[in-house]
Amino acid sequence: MKKYNKNKETDQKIQNEDRMHINWFPGHMKKTRDLLKENLKLVDVVVELLDSRIPYSSKNPEIDKIIQSKPRVVVLNKADLADANKLKLWVKYYKDLNTKAICVNTLTGEGINELIEECKNVTKEKMEALIKKGRKERPIRMMIVGIPNVGKSSIINRLTGRKSAQTGDRPGITKGKQWVRLKGNLELLDTPGILWPKFEDERVALNLAFTRAIKDEILDIETLALKLIEKLSDIAPDKLVERYKIELGQTPLETMENIGRKRGCIISKNELDYTRIANIVLNEFREGKIGNITLEVPSDIEKE
């Protein structure tokens, strides 16, 4: 276990951790990308799932290239974990792009009916044209796409009204291809999540790691938690203070140590268990216990 001592060398190493190099593109993800391309012609509408906490970072740039002009509905999933005011900014952002973005909370089912109606709306002309050609009315065929751990299985379960897909708070749970019959004369083709081959932007990589779209095992958990504390100290300092009943330190490391002392993460004497502190902060952020937090807003894109 790594221990951060308050000496000049270690402190300098932590404060200068400016780049987090992640290059993670397993073979099964390439196969999934190819699968999306192959099956796109079978569906009428694509439902693109984004994480409400990181709508920009959770958007796979490959998806635009694959979908192209196919009708699309954007779902801002896990809305119950996001900042409601910032979420409104994202809904407006997509509206300005002539795309409907629907906020969904799979715990309560809020937004599911709106999603179904919007899928029918964007495919209305196509379905009417088929009927005019004498074709028999058939179910509207949907495809769900998104990165790992964005909540596809939970969405499917809500759409079907039953537990039809395996779910879990770990990336990579969904495997293979599934056709699922839905209510309202809809059919859904589920596909595994895909992630792009390289993270050019460190902020995107970190946001994905914070929300567990990237497996914790391939990252330094303590550095990751330190980066999250740094981010939250900037955009939601009051929520950190309220959750942990602490004063913010002059540096993220000091804040991390304050949290550790408050939570009793002490090994012996005054030596802190940084791994335990890291797990506490990351898990409580992911579970929404620190508060409803959105890590990015549309104006962040304009800064690119």
134 in a labelled binding site: no
For residues 153 and 174, the answer to whether their CB atoms sit within 8 Å is: yes
SS3 at position 55: coil
| Beta-carbon contacts of residue 10 (< 8 Å; ≥ 6 apart) | 4
| DSSP assignment letter at 135 | P
| Beta-carbon contacts of residue 98 (< 8 Å; ≥ 6 apart) | none
Q: Measured between alpha carbons, how far is residue 129 from residues 136, 157, 166 in Å?
A: 11, 31, 36
The pair phi, psi for residue 102, each rounded to 5°, is: -115, 125
Q: pLDDT 10s per residue in the chain (304 long)?
A: 444 444 444 444 444 444 455 555 566 667 777 878 888 888 999 999 999 999 999 998 888 888 888 999 999 999 999 999 999 999 999 999 999 999 999 999 999 999 999 999 999 999 889 888 888 888 899 998 888 889 988 998 898 876 544 444 444 444 455 678 887 788 988 766 676 656 778 888 899 999 998 877 767 899 999 999 999 999 999 999 999 999 999 999 999 999 999 999 999 877 999 999 999 999 999 999 999 999 999 998 766 5
Distance of CA 270 to the CA centre of its chain: 37
- Whose tokens are 């740039």? That residue is 61
Q: How far apart are CA 51 and CA 57, in angstroms?
A: 8
- The domains located in the chain, with CATH, are 8-18+199-302 (1.10.1580.10), 27-190 (3.40.50.300)
**Three state DSSP letters for 88-112:** HHHHHHHHHCCCCEEECECCCCECH
Distance of CA 32 to the CA centre of its chain: 18
Q: What pLDDT does residue 23 have?
A: 56
209 in a labelled binding site: no
Q: What pLDDT does residue 174 have?
A: 46
What DSSP line would sit under 230-282, residue for residue? HHHHHH-HHHHHHHHT----SSHHHHHHHHHHHTT-EEETTEE-HHHHHHHHH
168 in a labelled binding site: no
Helices (H), the chain: 8-15, 27-39, 61-67, 84-96, 112-122, 124-132, 152-160, 202-210, 221-235, 237-244, 252-262, 274-286, 298-302
Confidence (pTM): 0.84
213 in a labelled binding site: no
| Beta-carbon contacts of residue 241 (< 8 Å; ≥ 6 apart) | 247, 248
SS3 at position 43: coil
151 in a labelled binding site: yes
Q: What pLDDT does residue 29 have?
A: 67
SS3 at position 127: helix
Q: What pLDDT does residue 39 have?
A: 85
Q: How far apart are CA 104 and CA 152, in angstroms?
A: 11
Using a 10 angstrom Cβ sphere, with 0-12 exposed, 13-18 middle and 19 or more buried, the burial of residue 11 is: middle
Q: Measured between alpha carbons, how far is residue 202 from residues 2, 94, 224, 294 in Å?
A: 23, 24, 12, 17
Distance of CA 152 to the CA centre of its chain: 10
152 in a labelled binding site: yes
193 in a labelled binding site: yes
